[in-house]
Structure formats: structure tokens, C-alpha cells
Amino acid sequence: MSIKAEEISKLIKQQIESFDSEIEVSDVGTVIEIGDGIARAHGLDNVMSGELVEFSNGTMGLAQNLEESNVGIVILGPYLEIKEGDEVRRTGRIMEVPVGEELLGRVVNPLGQPIDGKGPVETTKARPIEAQAPGVMDRKSVHEPLQTGIKAIDALVPIGRGQRELIIGDRQTGKTTVAVDTIINQKDQDMICIYVAIGQKESTVRSTVETLRKHGALDYTIVVSAGASDPAPLLYLAPYAGVAMGEEFMYNGKHVTVVYDDLSKQAVAYRELSLLLRRPPGREAFPGDVFYIHSRLLERAAKLSDDLGGGSLTALPFVETQAGDIAAYIPTNVISITDGQIFLQSDLFFSGVRPAINAGLSVSRVGGSAQIKAMKKVAGTLRLDLASFRELEAFAQFGSDLDKSTQAKLNRGERTVEVLKQGLNKPLDVEKQVMIFYALTKGFLDDVAVEDITRFEEEMNIWLDNNRKELLNQIKETGNLPEENDMNDAIESFKKTFLPGKNN
């Protein structure tokens, strides 16, 4: 069998035409040191700060320290298999997480990987975890209320959509409860919630998720969890992953609330990373840029202008104090970034005032613009009444002979404190809050025994639902207070049916 010369040349020509001469260039470095979740690599001269790099065993890392002769890399995952001399390769990508509606109802880690055992998250979109905060002209002033369903917050320290309101207090004073109740109250309010658990026990996160599921709140919630046993880089990245997921909804004209529980643990994780990377420590051994990690996170909360769709992202950061010291380093940092704080006091919590909100130290810098008109009217004097009651209460302990006006103030104050108490996972609709505050400020509760106040409120809510539904609907739909005669008539009619001293 003879092969013709033309056939050979034809074959060679085909091979030459189909030959792909593209050369793939990739920066590859070598690990020169490894330990404590930090690797140092030589040879990655063009790597970007915050770029993802890949080790030879498939583990990803985040380039942090760009030094003259090497790069400090934070390892995102198990690092025991990586050893000196291993290859490390640039990816050219910034750290990003999957985003989109497919994440609703899921529990994921800060890399967006599901940890709830429900299979993979089928999403096609991703966003970088670091993004520029909206500029001054891209924003609109906060004017829509975010109803938490917690009477003490909605009346005294109202939160608006697009605000950053710090929740601060010692451990075990009910901070997480405030967040969970707020999320539960967003049902049917056209709000998406993201709960970021940083450094919490996995059993605690599990019980929070179960509480949300039980109240039907998981359908519009994403839970991002970096557990106490996870490496420090994941604890540091968790809030940024949460806000990136929220921004996807905000830029599509939706309303989002992101809870960071809590930023003290993120700061501690960042301190650990910085010290391992040999960055110079500052006050309390925190690095100099610890303020910046929180400011660049919280500045991404905004109420967008109408040109950008009018979406909003409300941030509720938590900070844990030690023995009520709000003048410590991290608390003062975060207080200065946020638009107000809700201070939960352990003394109040242990004396049975729950939620344990200290009205004197709590403030909302958005104030009345985040309240409906009806609430503004009935709760206007509440803060002053409460402050003067606390002052008189301390004063009255020393003397028994009190004049009538002082006694009346004390009686009203006791009932105010009682009205502001609220059960666990029982958020209240704003129209019912308005009714009980109206009854309080107009003196309808002055002759009701203090121990009967809670029962009075519960029974009044049921009675209003059955007999004066139109009154509640009017407050809900218009946001204004109905005619005074109608309000008085409703409360007086209910009061005739209320039996004082009756046991439940």
C-alpha cells in the first residue's frame, strides 16, 4: 500500500490549520512558610490585595499582606495538608459569594456553601464580598419605618428602612431575641432578612433557625453562619458575605434587613488574623484598621434614591459589652459609625423588665421620621415620662410623704414600664401598639392595677380584633390617629368588660 505525497501534505496542512497556539500564562508561587491558617508564598509578584489564590490541593486562600519578598495568605479551609514547597496559583478573581432568591430559606457558610443538609444552592449569580458603598447622591433620606413589633423600640428608638441601628449590651441580655422578633415581624411586610451568626455555638444557631421556621419567617430569611469552631478567616468574612447577598436584593428595588450577630467576635477574629500576619498591634492589641473593617461594612447600608430603584438595606449590628462598659474600644467605634444605639441593660433584664432597653442611653438619630404619625402622637412624651419616673423612683425610696402630683407620676411610670414589657417571640402590630400607648397616655390605665396591665393589653387586643377591627385598619392603612371620640369610646367600651384581679 503506497501513500501519495499529496495526501501527506494535505494531512499536514489540516493539522497546521487546526493547531491552537494560545499560551496560557498563570502566576505560580511557592509556599515558603505555613502555620496557624496563614501561608507565606514567594513568586506571586503581581497578586492583588484580596485576590483568591489556589493551593495545589484545591484549598483556596485570600491574599492579604503584599510584602516585598513574599505574600501573606489567609487560608479559607483546612490547611494541614498544605506544606512548604507546594505550588500556589493566582486565580485573578476577587472573593465572591452566590446571591439570589434561591438562597432564601437556606443556611449557608460565609463562602455561600449550604450547611443545612438540603442539597446544593442552585443559583447562577455571584457578587464580590467587597463593594463600594452607595455615594451621597445615590441615597435618599430615611423616611419609611421598619416595624420591629417591639413596643419599646417602635415607640422610643424607632428604626427606619436604610438605617444602621446598633444593638449593644452584655451577654445574655436578650440581644438575639430583639433580632429574631424583628425578623418574625417582617412577615407580609415586603422585607427580606439576612441573619449573620458570627462565632456562635452551632446549637444556638440551630435553635434560632428552628424559631424562625416555627413562625414561618425562614421563607424570607437567609442565615449565614460562621460557627465558633470555624477558622478565623470565615468569621471575619461572614458579615461581608451577608451584606453582598443583601445588596443583590437592594439594587433590585427590594427592602432588606441584615443582622450582624455580633461584630465583637468579627473584630476578635480580625485581630487574630492581623497578629498572625505580623501586622503592628494598637489599642487592646487590635490592628490600626479595625475601625475601617466595620465602617466599610456598615456604610453599605442605605436607602437608595428613586433613580436606583428605591431599595433599602437596614443594618442591625450587635456589639457585646463587658460589664456594661459602652466606652470600650469596639463599642465606641461602632457607636460612632451607626445612626443610634439600643442599649440593653443586665440590671433591667434581671429585674424582669424585658426587653431590657435602657431608654436613657438608647437613641435613634433618625427619630420621628421613621415613625407613622399615629405613633409619633401617642409616644411623643413617653421617653421624658420614663426618664422622670426613673429619677423620681430613686428619690422616692428615701421619703414616704409624697405630694399628689409626684405620686401620680410614679403611678403612671410604673404602668409605662409594665406596658413596655413584652413576651418572647410575640411581636405586636403597630396599630395595636398605638392603641395601648393611647390608653396609657390618656390615663385609661391609671386605675388598672399594675399586675393586671399585661392581661388588660392582651384582652383589649382580642376585643378590638372582634369588635373594632375598622379602627385598627384605619391606623394601619392611613398611619394617622382616628378621631379621639372613636378611640375613647372603644377603650371605654372594652374597659366595662374587663374584670380586674381575675386570674388567667
Which of 24, 29, 23 minimizes the C-alpha distance to 89?
29
* C-alpha to C-alpha distance for 405 and 384, rounded to whole angstroms: 16
Q: Does residue 73 contact residue 63 with C-beta atoms inside 8 Å?
A: yes
Q: Is 327 exposed, middle or buried (0-12, 13-18, 19+ CB in 10 A)?
A: exposed
**Phi and psi (nearest 5°) for 467?**
-115, -25
* C-alpha to C-alpha distance for 11 and 3, rounded to whole angstroms: 12
* C-alpha to C-alpha distance for 396 and 26, rounded to whole angstroms: 77
| DSSP per residue, 216-271 | T-GGGEEEEEEETTS-HHHHHHHHHHHHHHHHHHHTTT-EEEEEEETHHHHHHHHH
Catalytic residue among 164, 283, 365, 455: 365
| DSSP per residue, 285-310 | G-BTTHHHHHHHHHTT-EEB-GGGT-
Cell of 185: 415581624
Which of 173, 196, 193, 174 minimizes the C-alpha distance to 183?
193
Which residues sit opposite 196 in a β-bridge?
224, 260
Known catalytic residue at 164: no
**Phi and psi (nearest 5°) for 407?**
-60, -40
* C-alpha to C-alpha distance for 69 and 30, rounded to whole angstroms: 12
Query: Which residues are catalytically annotated?
Result: 365
